[in-house]
């Protein structure tokens, strides 16, 4: 897999490059700001760009804006956005227009290498990877969406894992369920959420978006 890294902290940048190198993920460029990132993506066209949210010059949401720009300009390049903390608003912005090849994770997740690499792979394959913390925040709100309200506790649990971007097989392993019964639950979720038949991955993302939209965030 081919990646570029944008991270202004040297310690993190070097650590991530070394870690990815250990796992046969090539790091084509490691830059420290959004401008450098856009140039590196233009030059290398990586599979995934790994982006820190807070970078110079303003140290606010440069990373999110750069990620959105990359997603619209280079449809084949995925982005994995790392944040020092979780903002559901950022997750919403990232997924709104291009709900594929996108990931939003807490920096802490890098420590569990397996999850980090798994997220990278899912994004490169066209999927979505959301931090469990984002999902937890979204799910903790009793939703006003009628479709979501009809879900059973088990289905909500499965939807949460779907939202993180897990595959049916991974969900079955996680919940110690048979693959068949996970499939049945997922179909039930799609039906209750009134999601029309479409390629499975697309429907999964739509289900996640229903969660995000249910937050009814109306900021002017």
Partner 1 sequence: MRAVLVGPFEWRTWRQVLYAVAGVVLSAPALLVPVVLVVVVPAGLVGVGLPLVVGVLLLARRLPRWFGLLSRPLLGWELPPPPPLRGRTLLGLARLVLVDGRGWRAAVYAFVKVPLAFVSAYVAVVGTLFAVMLIFSPVWWAVGADDLSPVGVDRRGDTAYVSAIGVVSLFLFPWLLRGLVALDRALATLLLGPGPAAERIDELVTSRAALTADAAATLRRLERDLHDGTQARLVALGMTLARIEKRLGPDEHEALALVDAARGGVTDALDELREIVRGIHPPALDAGLPTALGTLAARSGLPVTVSVSLDRTPSADAATTVYFTAAELLSNAAKHAGARTVELSLSGADGWLRLVVTDDGRGGAAASSTGTGLRGLIARARALDGRLEVSSPDGGPTTVVLSLPGA
Residues that bind partner 1 (CB under 8 A): 9, 11-12, 15-16, 18-19, 22-23, 54, 59-61, 84-90, 92, 106-108, 110-113, 137-138, 140-144, 215-220
What is the Cα–Cα distance from 163 to 129, expressed in whole angstroms?
Answer: 8
What is the Cα–Cα distance from 73 to 54, expressed in whole angstroms?
Answer: 21
Comparing CB distances to partner 1, the nearer of 23 and 154 is 23
Report in angstroms how near the CB of residue 45 gets to partner 1 at its nearest: 26
Comparing CB distances to partner 1, the nearer of 86 and 124 is 86
Report in angstroms how near the CB of residue 31 gets to partner 1 at its nearest: 17
Report in angstroms how near the CB of residue 115 gets to partner 1 at its nearest: 11
- Is the Cα dihedral 56, 61, 65, 70 positive or negative? positive
Report in angstroms how near the CB of residue 187 gets to partner 1 at its nearest: 27
Question: What residues contact residue 173 under an 8 Å CB cut-off, 6+ apart?
Answer: none
Comparing CB distances to partner 1, the nearer of 133 and 183 is 133
Comparing CB distances to partner 1, the nearer of 27 and 186 is 27
CB 6 within 8 A of CB 66: yes
Comparing CB distances to partner 1, the nearer of 25 and 172 is 25
Task: Look at residue 214 and give its three-state secondary structure.
Answer: coil
What length is written for the chain? Answer: 220
What is the Cα–Cα distance from 77 to 41, expressed in whole angstroms?
Answer: 8
Report in angstroms how near the CB of residue 48 gets to partner 1 at its nearest: 18
What is the Cα–Cα distance from 27 to 46, expressed in whole angstroms?
Answer: 9
């Amino acid at each position: 897999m081919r990646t570029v890294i944008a991270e202004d902290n040297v310690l993190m940048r070097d650590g991530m490059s070394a870690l990815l190198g250990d796992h046969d993920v090539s790091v084509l460029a490691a830059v420290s700001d959004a401008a450098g990132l856009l140039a590196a993506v233009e030059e290398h066209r990586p599979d995934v760009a790994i982006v820190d949210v807070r970078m110079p010059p303003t140290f606010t949401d440069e990373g999110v804006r750069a990620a959105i720009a990359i997603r619209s300009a280079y449809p084949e390049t995925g982005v994995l956005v790392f944040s020092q903390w979780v903002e559901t608003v950022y997750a919403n912005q990232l997924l709104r227009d291009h709900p594929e090849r996108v990931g939003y994770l807490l920096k802490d997740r890098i420590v569990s290498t397996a999850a980090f690499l798994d997220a990278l792979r899912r994004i490169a394959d066209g999927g979505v990877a959301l931090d469990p913390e984002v999902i937890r925040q979204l799910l903790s709100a009793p939703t006003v969406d009628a479709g979501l309200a009809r879900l059973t506790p088990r289905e909500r649990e499965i939807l949460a894992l779907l939202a993180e971007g897990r595959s049916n097989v991974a969900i079955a392993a996680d919940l110690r369920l048979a693959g068949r019964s996970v499939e049945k639950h997922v179909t039930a979720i799609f039906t209750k959420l009134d999601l029309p038949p479409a390629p499975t991955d697309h429907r999964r993302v739509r289900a996640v978006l229903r969660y995000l939209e249910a937050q009814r965030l109306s900021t002017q």
